[in-house]
Amino acid sequence: MDGSTLLLAFALMLIIEGLMPFLAPRVWREGFRRVTELADGQLRFLGLISMLTGLVLLIIFK
C-alpha cells in the first residue's frame, strides 16, 4: 500500500464519518451522547468489533 492509497482510504473514512452528522444531526448527537455514557470495557468491545469488522471486509474485498 502506497501513500496515495492510504490518503484515499482516509478521505473515504472522513466522508463516511460525516454522513450522519450531516443527514441527521439530532440522531447523531443522541447516539454520540449514549456512547459517551458507556463504560470503558463496553467502549473497548465496540472498538474491537469495529476493527474486526474492518479486517474481515478488507480480507473479503481485497
Domain map of the chain by residue range?
3-61
Q: From CA 46, how far away is CA 62, in angstroms rounded?
A: 24
Q: From CA 45, how far away is CA 42, in angstroms rounded?
A: 5
Q: Is the pLDDT of residue 1 over 70?
A: no
Total-model pTM: 0.71
Q: What is the pLDDT of residues 2-53, one digit of tens each?
A: 788 889 999 999 999 999 999 999 999 999 999 999 999 999 999 999 999 9
Cβ count near 28 (within 10 Å):
15
Q: What share of the chain is helix, strand, coil (3-state, %, to 5)?
A: 90, 0, 10
